[in-house]
Each structure stands twice: as C-alpha cells, then as structure tokens.
C-alpha cells in the first residue's frame, strides 16, 4: 500500500499535472475539428473544379461547332533609326507582341541577319492556333551621319621665289570612313603670294558627311635684293660747293617686291670726294646697300690776264724802281699770285713772270717785259772859258 502525504508541495505538483493533462485534451479536440473542416473545404473545391471542367468541355464542344476566322492582333516594335557601323550593320529589332482568343502559334519576321545602308521594311507575321494570320511592318533606317576621319598635315613654310606666283606642292591628307570617300579637295590658290595663306581640306563620304582641317602655307622672304648702282663719277667742278651732278639710276631685283631704291646724296656736291650710299628695300624689309664714289676734282688752271709790257726811262744804271700792277686772276677756288721780278730793275729788258696757283695746285702764268731805257742826254759840264 502506498501512502500519500498531503503536504503543500505535493498538492502543487498534483495541480500542475492536472492542468497539463487538461491542456493536451484541448489541443487534441482542436486538431480533430480542424481536420474535419479541411476535409469539408477540399470536398467543396473538388466539386467546383468538376463543375468548371464540365463547363469548359461544354464550351469547347460549342466552340468547335463555330469556325475561328478572326485574325490575331499584332503589335510591332517601334521604327528604328540606327547609325551604320559598316557596310552591313547588326540591328536589334525588339520583340513583336500578338494576341488571339485561340492562342498564338508563332510570330516571325523577314529580317535579314545584317542590314545594308538605307531603309528596310520588316514584315512581322503572327499565326494563331486556328491558322489565322496577321502582319504588320516595322521600318528600319540604317543611316550614316558620322563624318569621315581626316588626318592632320603639317603646315608649310618656304622661301619665296617670286612676289606673287609661288608654286607650292601640297600633299593631300589621308581620309577614312566606314564607307567610301567620294573626294578630298582643298581651296588652295594656284599660286601663293608672300605671307600666310590658310588652305582648307574637305573630305566627303558617300553619305555626304564632311570633315575638314586647315593647313597654313607661309611664304617668307629673307633674301636680300640684288642692287646694281651707277659707276663712280669723276667730274670737273663748276663751283666750289654748288655742283649739280647726275648720279645715274640704280636698279634692283628681288624674289619679292622692291618697295624703294634711295640714296643719301646731297643736293649739291662740294670739291672733293663724296660717298653716296644706295639702298634697296623689298616688301619684307630685306635691304641691300652699295656705295658710289663721287669725286669733284678741280684740274682747271686759274685764268690769268695778260699784262702790258712796261718801258720806263732809266733813273739809274741798275737800281730803277718799277711799280708793277698785279694781273687779274679768276678761279672757282682761292688762289695765290706769285711774281718773279727783281726789287729794282737795271737798264735793259727784264722778264717778269706772274703765276697764279689755286688750292688744288693748278697754276697759270703770264710774262711781262720791263724795259729800262736811257734816252736822256748826258748832262755836260765844261770848264769856264779861260781868259
């Protein structure tokens, strides 16, 4: 026999066990009720499905009795404008959509694998399950709007040969395109003048697209003019410092244009040597200079006038004084008059020489005869008569 002792702890344990047994009985009752409800729902769903299948079968029998002649409805992708990538271009057309009550059997199109340049019409065709078909079109334009590529070319700098008609050989740039290049042209003149000329090169492809570059052609002139001047001049003066001289004409040639030929000659030339500098300048400010020597030399003797001879009565045997008048002298320069004559003259003839010498040592002389004569009778003193 088992004896139970009623203590507070034993009582608490018995109460807990009773509560746990009651909870499990509740869960078991709920599970049984849920299973019954689910079985009922499944039975109702099966009955509804059987009814729907019977309705569909009836509709199918009825539909089979009526022929389907309705075309499907087809919607194509939007028209496309595609930039060409070459002579043939790959194009993603997109997807067409078709609808029909009997269902769509297939959707096809006549698209090529690759598209040429230009416009192509794509025909989309849809066929339903009863063999009805419908079609729609999609426009595909493969265009070329890309300009050709054109290589850069170096600028040209060259020495001029002539002022205006310089010939320059231009090398055409290289042009490339996914299609053919129709032309590569430029606007260069036939001949190039001094200075800078901008040449524009234009490449055109078969699509009419253009690309251009600029090339600068510079014709410069560093060549000195070739100057020819008159010969040196030696001339007799007509004046001391107011001599007018025709120097002649200088000429110059150049690969450019001669803008001036000048000299630094004075208006009038003085006695002596004068260096005249001629200068030719071209349009590029290149210049050449040469000198011309102008010599104004006085080789003309002074003009000296003749003097009349002098005849005087002697006043002495050898100490006669004669007053001599200087001759008249003219010259373009200063001059000096020299005389060769004694201080006193003897009886008889004496030649007096007059010489005029100018600053250039040119001289001229004249002679004058001085004659001392004795025509006076002697004074005679005789003794007085003798008685």
Where do the domains of the chain lie?
A: 11-66, 73-143, 149-217, 226-296, 303-373
Nearest to 324 by CA among 364, 357, 370, 365: 370
b vs e for 50-85, b when ≥16 Cβ sit within 10 Å of the residue's Cβ? Answer: eeeeeeeeeeeeeeeeeeeeeebebebbeebeeebe
Least confident of 3-12, 95-104, 316-325: 3-12
Q: Is the pLDDT of residue 296 over 50?
A: yes
CA atoms within 13 A on the CB side of 46: 6
For the stretch 366-387, what's the b/e string if a residue is b when 16 or more beta carbons lie within 10 angstroms of its beta carbon? Answer: eebebebeeeeeeeeeeeeeee
pLDDT at 59 over 70: no
CATH domain 73-143 topology:
Immunoglobulin-like (2.60.40)
Mean pLDDT of all residues belonging to the chain: 89
The reported pLDDT for the residue numbered 147 is 95
Whether the model clears a pTM of 0.85, i.e. scores above it, the answer is no
Q: Residues 268-297: what's their mean pLDDT?
A: 96
Grade residue 6 by pLDDT with cuts at 50, 70 and 90: very low
pLDDT at 44 over 80: no
- What pLDDT shows up at residue 57? 64
At residue 366 the predicted structure's pLDDT band, cuts being 50, 70 and 90, is very high
H/E element holding 363? strand 363-373
| pLDDT the model gives residue 384 | 82
Per-residue pLDDT reduced to its tens digit, 200-241: 999 999 989 999 999 999 999 999 999 999 999 999 999 999
| Fold designation for 226-296 | Immunoglobulin-like (2.60.40)
Burial of 237 (0-12, 13-18, 19+ CB in 10 A): buried
**How does pLDDT run across 320-336, given as a tens digit for each residue?**
999 999 999 999 999 99
Report CA-CA distances (Å) from 333 to 37, 49, 195, 244, 301: 161, 154, 56, 17, 10
**Record: fold of 303-373:** Immunoglobulin-like (2.60.40)
Quick one: average pLDDT of 254-281? 95
For the stretch 153-180, pLDDT in tens is 999 999 998 878 899 999 999 999 999 9
Which residues touch 52 (CB under 8 Å, ≥6 apart)? none
């Amino acid at each position: 026999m088992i004896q139970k002792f009623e203590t507070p702890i034993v009582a608490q344990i018995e109460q807990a066990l009773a509560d746990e047994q009651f909870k499990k009985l509740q869960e078991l009752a709920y599970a049984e009720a849920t299973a019954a409800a689910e079985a009922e729902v499944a039975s109702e769903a099966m009955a509804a499905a059987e009814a729907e299948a019977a309705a569909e079968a009836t509709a199918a029998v009825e539909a089979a009795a009526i022929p389907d002649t309705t075309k499907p409805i087809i919607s194509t992708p939007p028209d496309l404008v595609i930039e060409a990538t070459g002579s043939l271009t790959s194009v993603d057309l997109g997807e067409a959509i078709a609808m029909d009550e009997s269902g769509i059997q297939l959707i096809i199109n006549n698209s090529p694998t690759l598209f040429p340049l230009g416009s192509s019409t794509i025909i989309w065709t849809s066929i339903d399950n009863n063999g009805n078909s419908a079609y729609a079109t999609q426009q595909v334009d493969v265009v070329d709007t890309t300009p050709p590529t054109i290589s850069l070319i170096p600028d040209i700098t060259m020495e001029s040969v002539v002022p205006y008609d310089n010939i320059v050989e231009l090398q055409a740039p290289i042009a490339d395109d996914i299609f053919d290049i129709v032309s590569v042209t430029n606007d260069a003149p036939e001949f190039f003048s001094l200075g800078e000329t901008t040449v524009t090169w234009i490449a055109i492809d078969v699509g009419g697209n253009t690309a251009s570059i600029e090339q600068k052609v510079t014709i410069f002139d560093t060549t000195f003019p070739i100057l020819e001047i008159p010969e040196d001049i030696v001339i007799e003066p007509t004046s001391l410092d107011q001599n007018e001289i025709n120097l002649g004409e200088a000429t110059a040639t150049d690969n450019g244009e001669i803008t001036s030929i000048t000299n630094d000659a004075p208006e009038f030339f003085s006695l002596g040597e004068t260096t005249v500098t001629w200068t030719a300048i071209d349009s590029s400010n290149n210049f050449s200079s040469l000198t011309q020597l102008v010599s104004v030399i006085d080789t003309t003797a002074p003009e000296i006038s003749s003097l009349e001879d002098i005849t005087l009565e002697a006043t002495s045997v050898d100490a006669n004084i004669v007053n001599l008048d200087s001759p008249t002298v003219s010259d373009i320069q200063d001059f000096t008059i020299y005389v060769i004559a004694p201080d006193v003259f003897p009886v008889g003839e004496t030649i007096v020489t007059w010489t005029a010498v100018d600053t250039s040592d040119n001289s001229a002389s004249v002679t004058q005869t001085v004659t001392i004569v004795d025509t006076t009778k002697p004074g005679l003193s005789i003794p007085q008569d003798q008685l």
